Amino acid sequence: MRIVVTVVGKDKVGIIYKVTGILAENKVNVLNISQSIVDGFFNMILIADMAGAATEIGSLRERLDKLAKEIGVEIRVQSEDIFTAMHQI
């Protein structure tokens, strides 16, 4: 399963480092990252592969939710299926 991780929040040092650190710990392979800063706000969309992952999406979300609270950003983790269903025929 491929997942989409979106991060939105006030920019600060180390957001990508911390998010990808958690993914690496759980053996989740990053496929694509796009990131921008608009008016001081950090926006990131990260697509990753859970095929060889050491965890499942629910516990990965719990881990990222905890991080989101620590660094004061919003992190969403979703299966890619919802985006492909909606935007690709």
Partner 1 sequence: MPIISSNDIIETTHMITQENLDVRTITMGISLRDCADPDMKTCARKIYDKITHKAEKLVQTGCDIESELGVPIINKRISVTPIAIVGESCRETNYTPLAVALDKAAHEVGVNFIGGFSALVDKGYTKGDRNLIASIPEALASTELVCSSVNVGSTKAGINMDAVAEMGRIVKDTAERTKDADAIGCAKLVVFCNAVNDNPFMAGAFLGVTEPESMISVGVSGPGVVKHALEAVRGQDIGAVAETIKRTAFKITRVGQLVAQEAAKRLNTQFGIIDLSLAPTPAVGDSVAHILEEIGLESCGGPGTTATLAMLNDAVKKGGLMASSYVGGLSGAFIPVSEDAGMIAAVEKGSLSIEKLEAMTCVCSVGLDMIAIPGDTTAQTISAIIADEAAIGMINNKTTAVRVIPVPGKGVGDRVEFGGLLGYAPIMAVSKFKPDTFIARGGRIPAPVRSLTN
Per-residue binder mask for partner 1 (CB under 8 A), 29-68, x = binder: --xx-x----------x-x---------xx--x-------
* Minimum distance, C-beta of residue 8 to partner 1, in the bound complex (Å): 9
Rounded to whole angstroms, the Cα distance separating 52 from 33 reads 19
* Minimum distance, C-beta of residue 57 to partner 1, in the bound complex (Å): 5
CB 48 within 8 A of CB 23: yes
Query: Per CB under 8 A, does 24 bind partner 1?
Result: no
* Minimum distance, C-beta of residue 44 to partner 1, in the bound complex (Å): 10
Q: List all residues 6 or more positions away from 31 whose beta carbon is below 8 Å from its beta carbon.
A: 2, 47, 48, 49
Binding site for partner 1 (CB under 8 A): 2, 4, 6, 31-32, 34, 45, 47, 57-58, 61, 76-88
